[in-house]
Structure 1
Amino acid sequence: MKHPKIFAAQLGCAKNQVDAEHLLAELYSVGFVSAPSAEKADYLLVNTCGFIEAAKEESINAVLSFVEIKKPAQKLIVSGCLSGRYKEELPKEMPEVDYWLGTYEPGKILQVLGLGEKSSGTENIKRLNLGDFPHHAYLKIAEGCDRRCAFCAIPNIRGKQVSFSIESIVQEAKELEAQGVKELTLIAQDTTFYGHEQGVRGPTLTKLLKAILAETKIPWIRTLYWYPQFIDDELLELMANEPRLCKYIDMPIQHANDKILKLMRRHYTQKSLREMLFKMREKIPGVTLRTTVLVGFPGETQEDFEELMQLIQDVRFEHLGGFVFSPEEGTPALQLTETPVPEDQARARLDAINDVQEEISSEATEAFIGKEVKVLIDEVAEESDYHFIGRTEGNSLDSDDIVKIVEGDATPGEFYWVKILDAEPHELTGKIVRAV
């Protein structure tokens, strides 16, 4: 029996990566195998992103590159956010694509390819981990989003939030642990809203975390994408008291000015935001805070921007990512009558934030010099003047700082105590002291 070969290109965020892992797991369950290259594949798969303009362009270019090399006998499948967002337009513009899937639905790819009924038996398919490192995996706990932030197209693409059951998530976590995962990163559009769409009897993020802690021995469990409105003391206390929960909070605040927050439809104020951020610092000693901000939103004045700058300087986030407002079709922001911010002015504001954050990050990393910290080794540093690359619990994979190991031997996927010798704004340098 000939096993069809598939070659996949994955674009976009970690949530999209998990979707790609499920798509390929379904195909592998019916006999597909991975092709070493696009040229040797029977099927080509592009899992696209459609969040902002730059991501859309990248996805379209990826599909077109596959169209150019596609042989007559090969079949091209396009899935993901871009194909879901433009499901009417894209098939007309790219007739060379054989199958359009949209965002992930269990069993849909098997149904479209004529290999099974939708949702039939997919719950028994083992979880696939396609990340760069076998000791780390992302686990998606919900689909969609109930937030209708004015700048965001995600609810239009992925619909309202649907939280997965605690039982199914725990089962997936156990499968990943059996595969050797040492760090599990829980993701959703809004992890702190987990279960809230089901009302007061629904599950909560705290209950989910307790279940994963009880049913697995995974050393590091991290959660991303908190929303300020749905964080309670029970969740903070669990993080403070449970050593296997990384003391790391990724909470995109977007802005600090009340007028801009209201225009963004963020449903909180600067006062409540400050109270929450400082409560996190108080309740979780040593917590690492990461955030994302959006500048240049319609109506943002220099004074509004200065309020955001002041909050950043007061809170001193260890990690911060910034973006310039990008008008996205179908979002409420396009209906605003407020004065647009010129792009050059918005970019100057982002540059100013980045300059301030560079100083804050430098101060944060320099505080580690001379200390011993627990580090998870990710990989061997090939062709470098250091030996290994790792991370502390205060650094999320793909987005935060790294630890360069210049002395000592280590095994990727294992934990070590590392003495920090030097620091730069976004990296630490250290030597192995001993295994954990």
Structure 2
Amino acid sequence: MKFYIKTFGCQMNVNESEIMTGLLENEGHEWTENPKNADVILINTCSVREKAENKMYGAIGSLGKSKKDGKKNVIIGVGGCSAEKEKEKILNKFSTVDFVFGTRNVTDIVDLVERAKKGKRFLDFSDKLDDFTAHLPIRPSSKHHAWITIIHGCNKYCTYCIVPYTRGLEKSRKIDDILTEAKNYSEKGYREITFLGQNVDSYGKDFGDKKPKLHLLIEETSKMDNIERIWFTTSYPTDITDKLIQTVKNVPKAAKYFHLPVQSGSDKILKKMNRKHTRKEYIEMVKKIQSEVPYVTTTSDFIVGFPGETDEDFMQTVDLVKQCRYDKINIAEYSPREGTIAEKYMEDDIPKHIKNKRFQYLMNIQKEINKEENLKYKDHILRVIQESKTKSGKFLGRTINNKVVMFDSTENLKGKFVDVYIERVSAGPLYGRIVKSEIEEDFEKEENYLKEVFGY
């Protein structure tokens, strides 16, 4: 039996699709990249924004055509955050869908498919997070970079966000289990891992002492031979500790990068969003990270046009961006998400054209900052791990502080270290040419490079 998985949304969804792929292959089923050849089609959905949810409905419609066009035995399952949110609506609206499942029972995918093969149409949202362990037969989408989910759920209840309702409350995996998974990847020759969570730096707060323990995972994983870079995402500002900052600073393998979503620069709007920090506290935290960690890069998320946002509120956001000087930001125009507090109790009172105007204004400010920050890398040699080939024909790589570099290369260097001389910069990637690669005999060791560049 062949199966196909369509994945929308964040890296956690990608990781969960990798788990479902591994479980199905372990039972003898065969993955296919062509849905027309599939006997089972799984759609792993996202509900963070309305656009993502619309993509889900489009995918259900288009992928369900094979069932209507004569291949009636095709099984279609829909999971992920939108599945949690829409539940009965998906099953009732689309006769082609056989089952709908949740975010906490992806480990049950083999049994869910078997039930559907017997002709049953059903919903299943059971909680099987305890089965989410290092012993799952996962099939990573990369051969050098692995995702490791360390904490599920979210306790923050920001008024605009649906995630706590679709992912549930925070639940951390056991430290030993996570380290076992990281060790398994190290033994297979993986060079990079990313620790994942909706609030990744809340990891371990539910163990009893209410103290985050992400820094411990980074320290222990850094001792593993083949692992060269350790990333984590996504952070919540108030859960970042001094220990985490110092660990990122002092552990050479820790990526010098923090993604720090803030959403607004106005205290009034932050309060309406139910964010757990003030403008002042957030800026102080960003400045602390930038001053403590050499060559660190910071990024953030913003929502423009939140209910009640005045021009003054928006300009406070602009001022915050100018003060923090991020290397990149993600901006979204506010759209109500059904089931959230903001959707229930706040009027979406900012006109679409005002939202768009603010979006464009803030993006242009950030582009100027991006270009200015990137200029300091011109005419320097940067070390990256080469990733995939892009549509432009160039290959992409990332530095240890998450600068994206584009260059000409060959497939045999995928997953390898390459040193790239930066010839030009943009508001986005840096562009350069390879001057040396890891496969050459006189290539400088990574630890020596880090000592030279970062002072370790």
TM value normalised by structure 2: 0.87
Asked if the contact 1:240–1:285 (Cα under 8 Å) also holds between the matched residues in 2, the reply is yes
Report the alpha carbon displacement of residue 382 of structure 1 after superposing the two structures with TM: 7.2
Report the alpha carbon displacement of residue 37 of structure 1 after superposing the two structures with TM: 2.1
Alignment of 1:336-355 (within 5 A): 336-337=345-346, 340-355=349-364
Asked if the contact 1:189–1:225 (Cα under 8 Å) also holds between the matched residues in 2, the reply is yes
Report the AA paired with residue 136 of structure 2: I
Report the AA paired with residue 415 of structure 2: G
Which one is further off, 157-166 or 214-223? 214-223
SS at match of 1:8: strand
SS at match of 1:330: coil
Residue 419 in structure 1 maps to residue 421 in structure 2: yes
Asked if the contact 1:248–1:394 (Cα under 8 Å) also holds between the matched residues in 2, the reply is yes
Residue 227 of structure 2, aligned match among 218, 222, 226: 218
Aligned residue in 2 for 1:232 = 241
CA distances 1:390-411 after superposition (whole Å, capped 9, x unpaired): 222232xxxxx63122589971
Which one is further off, 347-356 or 64-73? 64-73
Gaps of 5+ in 1: 396-400
Residue 125 of structure 1, aligned match among 130, 136, 143: 136
Alignment of 1:73-112 (within 5 A): 73-105=73-105, 107-112=107-112
Residue 153 in structure 1 maps to residue 162 in structure 2: yes
Which one is further off, 73-82 or 310-319? 73-82
Asked if the contact 2:45–2:82 (Cα under 8 Å) also holds between the matched residues in 1, the reply is yes
Alignment of 1:134-145 (within 5 A): 134-145=143-154
Residue 182 in structure 1 maps to residue 184 in structure 2: no
Asked if the contact 1:408–1:431 (Cα under 8 Å) also holds between the matched residues in 2, the reply is no
Q: For 2:356 and 2:131, locate their aligned partners in 1 and report how far apart those are by CA, in whole Å.
A: 49
TM value normalised by structure 1: 0.91
Aligned residue in 1 for 2:2 = 5
Residue 430 in structure 1 maps to residue 432 in structure 2: yes
Q: For 2:315 and 2:364, locate their aligned partners in 1 and report how far apart those are by CA, in whole Å.
A: 14
Q: For 1:383 and 1:320, locate their aligned partners in 2 and report how far apart those are by CA, in whole Å.
A: 23
CA distances 1:99-120 after superposition (whole Å, capped 9, x unpaired): 22122415422332348x9969
Asked if the contact 2:396–2:407 (Cα under 8 Å) also holds between the matched residues in 1, the reply is yes
Aligned residue in 2 for 1:250 = 259
Judged with a 3 Å threshold, the aligned counterparts in structure 2 of structure 1 residues 382 and 350 are, in CA distance, closer, same or farther, namely closer
Asked if the contact 2:20–2:138 (Cα under 8 Å) also holds between the matched residues in 1, the reply is no
Report the alpha carbon displacement of residue 338 of structure 1 after superposing the two structures with TM: 6.1
Report the AA paired with residue 101 of structure 2: L
Residue 58 in structure 1 maps to residue 58 in structure 2: no
Instruction: Give aligned pairs, total.
Output: 423
Q: For 2:264 and 2:273, locate their aligned partners in 1 and report how far apart those are by CA, in whole Å.
A: 9
Which one is further off, 84-93 or 355-364? 84-93
Q: For 1:75 and 1:330, locate their aligned partners in 2 and report how far apart those are by CA, in whole Å.
A: 29
CA distances 1:37-67 after superposition (whole Å, capped 9, x unpaired): 2222221111122222110110111111111
CA RMSD, aligned part only? Answer: 2.3
Asked if the contact 1:247–1:286 (Cα under 8 Å) also holds between the matched residues in 2, the reply is yes
Report the alpha carbon displacement of residue 190 of structure 1 after superposing the two structures with TM: 0.6
CA distances 1:360-397 after superposition (whole Å, capped 9, x unpaired): 0001111101112111111346774x5x33222232xx
Aligned residue in 2 for 1:390 = 397
SS at match of 1:370: coil
Q: For 1:36 and 1:99, locate their aligned partners in 2 and report how far apart those are by CA, in whole Å.
A: 21
Report the alpha carbon displacement of residue 211 of structure 1 after superposing the two structures with TM: 2.2
Q: For 2:400 and 2:173, locate their aligned partners in 1 and report how far apart those are by CA, in whole Å.
A: 26
Judged with a 3 Å threshold, the aligned counterparts in structure 2 of structure 1 residues 389 and 410 are, in CA distance, closer, same or farther, namely farther
Report the alpha carbon displacement of residue 147 of structure 1 after superposing the two structures with TM: 0.8
Report the alpha carbon displacement of residue 35 of structure 1 after superposing the two structures with TM: 2.7
Judged with a 3 Å threshold, the aligned counterparts in structure 2 of structure 1 residues 409 and 121 are, in CA distance, closer, same or farther, namely closer
Q: For 1:429 and 1:292, locate their aligned partners in 2 and report how far apart those are by CA, in whole Å.
A: 25
Q: For 1:394 and 1:215, locate their aligned partners in 2 and report how far apart those are by CA, in whole Å.
A: 20
SS at match of 2:323: helix
Which one is further off, 15-24 or 34-43? 34-43
Asked if the contact 1:77–1:99 (Cα under 8 Å) also holds between the matched residues in 2, the reply is yes
Asked if the contact 2:90–2:97 (Cα under 8 Å) also holds between the matched residues in 1, the reply is no
Asked if the contact 2:336–2:348 (Cα under 8 Å) also holds between the matched residues in 1, the reply is no
Judged with a 3 Å threshold, the aligned counterparts in structure 2 of structure 1 residues 361 and 93 are, in CA distance, closer, same or farther, namely same
Q: For 1:411 and 1:203, locate their aligned partners in 2 and report how far apart those are by CA, in whole Å.
A: 37
SS at match of 1:177: helix
CA distances 1:78-125 after superposition (whole Å, capped 9, x unpaired): 11111111112211111221122122415422332348x996987433
Asked if the contact 1:110–1:118 (Cα under 8 Å) also holds between the matched residues in 2, the reply is no
Q: For 2:427 and 2:323, locate their aligned partners in 1 and report how far apart those are by CA, in whole Å.
A: 18
Q: For 1:410 and 1:89, locate their aligned partners in 2 and report how far apart those are by CA, in whole Å.
A: 47
Asked if the contact 2:194–2:231 (Cα under 8 Å) also holds between the matched residues in 1, the reply is yes
Asked if the contact 1:127–1:175 (Cα under 8 Å) also holds between the matched residues in 2, the reply is no
